[in-house]
Structure 1
Amino acid sequence: MGNTTHNTSEIFIKDRIADFDYARVGKYKKIYCCARNYDRIIWEFKKKDGLHWQLFPWFHVNRMSDNQPSLQDKNQTLRIIDIGWSNEGIYRCTALSSENNIIGNHSTKIEVYSCVDRVKPEAYGPKTQYGRVGGTVSFTCTGDFGCTSDDANDVSWYDENYDTLDDDTLFPRYNVTNVDRSKHTIEESTFVIKTIEQTDFKQNFTCYVSSAYGKGDKKFTVHLKEASVEITKMTLITAEEIKGIVAPCVVILTLVFVFTAVFYFRIKLFILSRIPYWHLRDRGANSYHVFILHEDEDLQLAEGIQRKLQSDGYNVKISGSITGGTVIWQKVQEFAQDSKSLVIIYPSEYSIINPNNTFESLVACRQYFSPNLVTVVEKTSRRGGLLEFIETDRTFVRIKYPPKHNCSTYRQENFFCKLKLRMPRKTEKNVWCCSTKPGQTQQGAEDTEPLNTPIVRTIQQNEVDLRNQPV
């Protein structure tokens, strides 16, 4: 396609075409080319912020509808039935010769706007502003005149004597700027005061919104207020005063941390023992709060634990109380089923060379308890071999028994707190780890009788029955 230079006045009728025009959303719009001395006309479109021209038709064939642009009058007129925001941009018509050369072209910029049909203007007045001498402040006043544009629509500023503030001669420090929007249907006027003087705080300024409607004119009066300057007296704090504030805080936080670390288990027991439906709360009608299963060599340790717990109001049964002449595995299971929790004392003299398979079978009574109610107590000074079934079972929770048997010691108290946290108890007597009044509950002779030789013979006689018991 070649180019041929012609005088555009010979090609286009200038008084019938526009370089710029408005189009209202949802309305009908025609864009004219008004070319002459041509063979054919083509139309192109470029979006408002676009970079490339699109040749008509610039929409996909499958999306054609009545709302899409169409050509009339031998392509002299581009018609858009329903204007939308996507129609905003530049429309260019190009006149071509019979040799397909460009004779000339003309572009029309279309700005799309939206407005509301009104019977009177909608006015938005300025707000009171604050300023200081020597500063700058601005007021904004707006009139929305609807879809009917008219030269009578106006937004103006006046002083107390009704002199217009846009007069640079009378008011060199004042400036008024008006901006028209949406095809002059909205007018925004900004009044600026430069280099504020003290007299400006004593004047009233008026914004007047008038229209061709003949009614609904608005007048807004506003004034400038002086911004108060607050002087805040600063108080300096010396290094000694900072130390006097920080040091006590550090000491208090340290004491709180140490107290919490030292009495953690006691605090935890105190709180959890009072929470309803926690595992510490008593459930069922079992006779004993805890059943202690141990070997003969750990009888002294079992009795010591029993005495401490009984002094705090717990009902405790130990396996050492089982008398001779009875089937020990049967009695162990009976006591286990009649207890709310189980404590297993890790055999202190266990030997892999001579293992006690009977004790391992007795531990099968743990099946009657949930894992959070089964605890393994191990002496700190234990020297025996390792029991594989305890070492490999991760459900066992193990607690170290401190070497000193003094109830007032910190480690002793923590031990019993840990133990009680894994035992149910209905009353509130267990909030202390050790009782200050030992002997509150007397233990019977049946609870202290050790496993003696007749018991061992009974175990051997029932070895076959033990192998048949579930583990």
Structure 2
Amino acid sequence: MVQPVFVYFLTVLGAGFAITDYCSVNNFKNNDENYMQFTKEPSFAEYAVVGKFKGLHCCAKAYRSIEWFKDGRPYPWPGTASQLIIYPENANQTVYTQSVTPDDAGNYTCLLRNDSVVHVHTIQLQVFDKVPDDPKITYISNDVEVAQGQPARLFCEAFVGLVDLPDAHNEAIWRKIGQNGTLDDEPRIRQEKVSREDGQTFGTYLIIEEVTDDDYGEYVCRITKPGKTVDLPSVLIFEKAEEEYLNANPFPWKRLIIWGTVLTLLMATILILNLQFGMSLRVWLKDRLGRIEEEDGKINDVLVVYSQKDSELVLGVLVSTMDTKYQYKCDSKELSENIIAWTSELSEAAQKSRRVVAVVSPALVNDKWDASSLYQTLKQLQGLGPKTCFVVLQKMPNCDDQAKNAIGENLNSILRNATVIQWERSNDRQFWLALRLNLPPRRIGGNVLNAPERNATRLNSDETVDNVV
């Protein structure tokens, strides 16, 4: 009995050293000491096999406090929610468990604070019963903009688990597209290999000490494990543009003022007309001249997804009005409480519909109307397809200070690339115009499909969201 206990003690001790050292090695160079920031690349996804050691890290500096959350619940967590505990010797930058369980899977969020700034980063942990066949990517760098003579750094990392094969070899190697030979031929370029958790997760840093013109281009990280080789999405190193300055030659100011005044008046006139009639005109042109989307294999015009608590509003007002007044063939689905399962549960219905309308309300996010919860919700709903628009029942929160995650996204980046329509009583007409503009063209009064019968009780279509909520 002495030998197994001693081996276990050494394993625990080694794991403790590993998580202690993780945030102190391979850090970014030349960081501003007075600025709160991550000190190394934070992973956006982590993976583990049941029964193995697992640690999650938020390596940072110049912070006053770090708080950890799992699926929105603050630390400490009950054993039924997560076995992970904080490692205080690493300044609370790490949570870990010696033996991971299926219940430990979920979204772990670290919240960093100082006296004026808050940073948030979320890591999704997935737990497998056995080692997966394919490498699972935990991090890949974004494109890098750098001036000549400055350093550049790329990083890729993947989880492969412990492979019990003779001479098993895992490797991550960077290469430049279109270049013969290896990158290591240049003395100012090096690749540093790293691993953690007994080699279950490994990666490679590509470090260029001083970038030259020959270094600009596309780079690919190749992940290799026994029987599998995967090329990750390419990363671009491109030259930082130089600032341009106006030529200080004499300029005809009088002509500039005249033409500027004319253009200003013209733009103001166009803006006023557009605000007054632009939306109505665009909807009219879309419905009269737009190509009717038929014979495309779709069964429904619109799929509406919503929270169970919003069913009266959605079925009684939104779907009813689209069915009866605007003659769209609609389908509706309630969203389950398991946010991660939305895509798989609704993908079939979404593929049968020309558009997806997702109703986003405080009830859908369990009354957590904040940037972190809304980012995770909208990110999952985006997986239903590119023609998804969001109908929000409350003004979006201010998220200017929200930090980007490891893949360069936050709520603002989601909103910039998505169609978001706020439904409010004071501007009900504008809401319906904006919604119809994003739905398929309909020849109202022409040969249209009959709206499906619904068992739910419908409210009058003139009612608005404020009458129901």
Scaled by the length of structure 2, the TM-score of the pair is 0.30
Larger-gyration structure (1/2): 1
